[in-house]
Chain A
């Protein structure tokens, strides 16, 4: 069975630009969570979506937004990129609502120049 997939693998943007990251959960999983991981730190929770609705939000500015589609895939959008947005962005899927049993994708490495 395919695991969580994310695209693209790597991305380079410049300050002020916009970026869209994509995630496909494990088949049958209905919940997707997004995390930001800066080098040397643990993942920081950004959003959780379940059944296409936002169920949880971390302490990130409004420049960060996300959505979940009817097929349970998800997009993370970041506007007006800052140098500090450079990080590994991880998507995790869970069978149901909640973050108890979640499986991480390989991540998207975003570099902002």
Chain B
């Protein structure tokens, strides 16, 4: 059973601090990795994708991938109250199937 694991949280971070979200996956053959943000009652929204080992930065967001350790993370710098949401890690098993983790609830404390 291919799996994607995330700590469900909630993760509480003071406003302005760095939020660090982590994800591990079981399928060593996975090539594509994604972070989605989901506000309560809304649908998921893609915020980052990463395909190669290392870091990828986009504004306040940095995705980190370590395929040897089967580990993906998302850093959010200068956290804002509007960042409070559930963050879903997703992994492509093959080009036609994607597996989501259960999500980590992030709460930014004003």
What is the interface of chain A, defined by CB distance below 8 A to chain B?
Answer: 33, 35, 40-45, 48, 50, 55-56, 58, 90, 97-107
Contact with A along B16-60 (1 / 0, CB 8 A): 000000000000000010100000001111100100000000000
Contact A43 B88 (CB under 8 A): yes
A66 CA to B60 CA in the complex, in Å? 39
* Nearest-CB residue, chain B, relative to A49: B96
Contact A56 B94 (CB under 8 A): yes
A72 CA to B82 CA in the complex, in Å? 34
* Nearest-CB residue, chain B, relative to A41: B102
* Nearest-CB residue, chain A, relative to B105: A40
Contact B92 A43 (CB under 8 A): no
CB distance from A31 to the nearest CB of B (A): 9
Contact B100 A44 (CB under 8 A): yes
Contact A99 B92 (CB under 8 A): yes
Q: Chain A's interface: helix, strand, loop or mixed, by majority?
A: loop
Chain B contact-residue range equals 20 to 34
Contact B43 A104 (CB under 8 A): yes
Query: Could you say which residues of chain A place their CB within 8 Å of the CB of B97?
Result: 45, 48, 56, 58, 99
Query: Could you say which residues of chain B place their CB within 8 Å of the CB of A97?
Result: 95-96
Contact A45 B99 (CB under 8 A): yes
CB distance from B12 to the nearest CB of A (A): 18
Find A42's partner among B88, B94, B95 (CB 8 Å cutoff).
B88
Apart from A33-B98, A43-B88, A44-B100, list 5 A-B contacts with CB within 8 A: A42-B102, A90-B43, A98-B96, A100-B92, A102-B98
* Nearest-CB residue, chain A, relative to B32: A100
Contact A106 B103 (CB under 8 A): no
A41 CA to B104 CA in the complex, in Å? 10
Contact B101 A99 (CB under 8 A): no
